[in-house]
Structure 1
Amino acid sequence: MKKVLIVDDEAAIREGIPYVVDWESLGYQIIASAENGLVGLEMIRKYQPDLVMLDIQMPAKTGLEMVKEAQEEGFHFHSIILSGYSDFEYAKQAIKLGTASYLLKPIDEDELLIILEELSKKVDQEKAEEERYMVLEKLFGKDQTGFESYKYGQLIQSQSARSQGVNHLDHPTEIKVLDFYHQKQYYQLFLANHEIVQQGLKEVGREAVIVTPWMPIKHSLKPLVSVISELKKYRYLYPKGELSYTFLEKQKAKMSFEDDLLEEMLKQFLNINQLLNLWEPYKQNYFYQQKPEEAIKWQALQDLDWLTQHIQSKFSVELIWESKDVQGDIYQTKSITELINLMKKEIEKIQLDVSNQLNSQDIISEMKHYTQENYQKDLSLKIIGERFNYNSAYLGKKFRKETGKTYLAYLEEIRMEKAKDILLHSNFMVYEIAEMVGYSNVDYFYKKFKNHFHLSPNEFRKN
């Protein structure tokens, strides 16, 4: 009930106002009356009313003086000026003081009813706004205190206002519900003096809703926010629908854990169909473990690293794949499903690489043969890679591993031997020989030849 104080020097007004309207049905209760502004100020200090009905002209202290002093002392209330004078100057002063209305005596019942109804809505809105601000401070601000008048609280976060079913309670009259919006999220705070064990959410469709358990809130509301933050970490596993500790427990009870899946993946690595069948239990293991988002992504990277290392060892191949190349993509995934799909694609790439290597064990022999037949052409690892449909970096590593030298060093040896043979068995000029063995720049050819044989081409021919 909103508290009402009547301040008027006319006894008839003070005694008559309580009978003008049905105050209680409108949500008001007349708590006291005063015969002048001085006594009225004391009453304001004592009762802190929501509404003050006052006369302007009164002995000891006028109504406007009383309101002004009360406001300066920090009291906040609405007021209705009652006056027998239709003086506009009084009305202007009342407006400056934030007075709700200005009524002439005698009071018109219908006019007062309209004012009270409008004022009631305004007061309710202000109180709701104050309460909302207070709750935001207790949840997300610096206020560390709880609610003295309530023992338990439950917080619900959603992506839209009043999600369907969120306000479904078995005992709604025993619970206070506060709605508010904070940092692009909607919240509902439920307050009660006992845990509502029977409470439950209706079907919320595909919307993401996070629900805390009922928790003691007498000392602080911060634990509710901490639980919301903790539960958010599992949204990666369950992108839609309700998310709560109860829900997580029920989901885990449905799951089972399979050991040695990575070993089985390694065993079935080249059996595409069998490997595909292993991804679902691999995914289910994460649901069973219920690790938070960051832990899942880290584990996925470790598993891919483990697989690539053991694949190289098992099949005697060299893979270019490195976890750092896919780390960014993994950490950008928004759900476990996206993660598993990404891992599948990476493994498919590795499968293709391994298959190519296993099917092309003689690639180095082919590279040598091609180089011996085409040494006079413009050759490089990139050109060779395109010719044989291989990654140039992979070919470079494999060539060096099997021959002990780089491909360019091997190409240079072939060209130098051909140049040597031509110098010894022909009369071609040096620049012609350079072009014949693949060097368009004769000075560069001179430099390479001298580095290789420690003699210039002409000196070599003379000797």
Structure 2
Amino acid sequence: MKVLIVDDEVVIREAIKDVICWEEYGYEVIEPAGSAEDAILKMERYAPEIMITDIKMGGKSGLDLAKYVKEMNLLMEMIVLTGYDDFEFVQEALRKGVGDYLLKNSNPDEILAAVHEAKERLLEKRKERDRKKMEDIRGIEESIQQLIISSDALSLNETALQLIPQSHHSVYKVVIIKQSITGDQLKEMEKIWNKYLFGLWVSIQDQTIIVVHQNSQTNSDYLLKMASKKVCQQLRSTLLIGEAVHKLEQLSISYRSAQSLILYQWILTDLDVINPNDVQHRAGIKSSNFIKEKEEELVGLITRGQAEDLEMWLNTFMQYLLRHPHATPDSIHFVIQSLYITKIRFMNRAAQSIGKPEWDVITLPDTNQWLSDINVLLSYFERLRREYQNVMNEHSNFIHVALHVMEENLNESLTLSDIANKVHVHPNYLSESLKKKTGKPYVELMKEMRMKKAQELLLSLPAPVRQIASQVGYTDWKYFASQFKKYTGMTPTQYREKEKEDV
């Protein structure tokens, strides 16, 4: 703690300086002053916290110093040195805010005790100042918060009203920084900002709000751009600027406008500052064949893919959505939510087909969480993939069900997709599983099943070949006959006659 000694008598000021080993008690005595004028210069340069001054000096007196300290609202404790006949001066000094007085013949212990007491008083003043400052800050924050939420300009406390400029040419904007800035950092950022234009900074919950004042008659948009750029460089954070309003009670409009831009920081990643003009042309992502294709791909990944395949697919798809020229947070949310619900429904149909309970629909987290971190979204889709494959692996007889469906419907033109829908798996997954089980691709397997069924019918029924062809799914009996000959080496009629001869 710095101590300044002021006396026009060099012997006295040097004696007070040298008679006590100030450093041992945690004090730093700066070069003493020989006059009140010199003391003021040293106060401006060194900012001492405690001053010991003679009450009577040539030129300005200790009383003048006390008046100066009070007028400048300096946080300082003063001790005046006085003689026996200076009591009236002492009373006046105390009225001017001087904390204590000492007789000029006081011994070192008395001087040191007075300085210790001054230090304690100063520490208490600091606490009170900080408490009052925090109350003012809280009052400003609460009134600003009330204003931007309820549009109630009357809620602004007197301090806030004094801080925010108001004129016929005033333009106000609310700027949101999704980062809580407090203490010295907030002061520093406010200082940088206010080099360009006025901004009242307040920290509200997990974000920092700047109430910006501009003059409609000046080129203040350029100043806003420069201030934003400087702050962005310091904070490495995106600034979201709301639309301009002309009255304090309209600040809530600007605030809501800025809030609507929050999720765009994950879409417009090349911008440090986002304002309504940057997004007004975006109409949202419309449903397209591409997105429908992606839905089919996702079904395949859920039913047969690995975790790394799903991660790669989701990263690629999210990049497509985020870079779409008309992407909006709501439209991205709608696409992802639709994908998620579609997959849940698909899985529930699969569960029903094998007698398993349906999956609980777990709501996706807040959009901001998975737009800022794709791993959050990935965890939800990966859970679907893992749970679906676990259930289907436990109940792997869907292959037998598929084969049974094929055998029972040979007279119909069933495609692989038709059968996959009946057993609630992806067509590609069914194709791979059938080939793994039988060693044959679907088309070849279906043809073999039809030919075997045709052989059976030719021997058990006296029906004409045309009817046999229809019962095994061929509408063109001549084509059926050609396929049958390729399979058996004989026409249907030859096969029937040969079997009769063998019998």
Q: Same fold (TM over 0.5)?
A: no
TM-score by length of 1: 0.41
TM-score by length of 2: 0.38
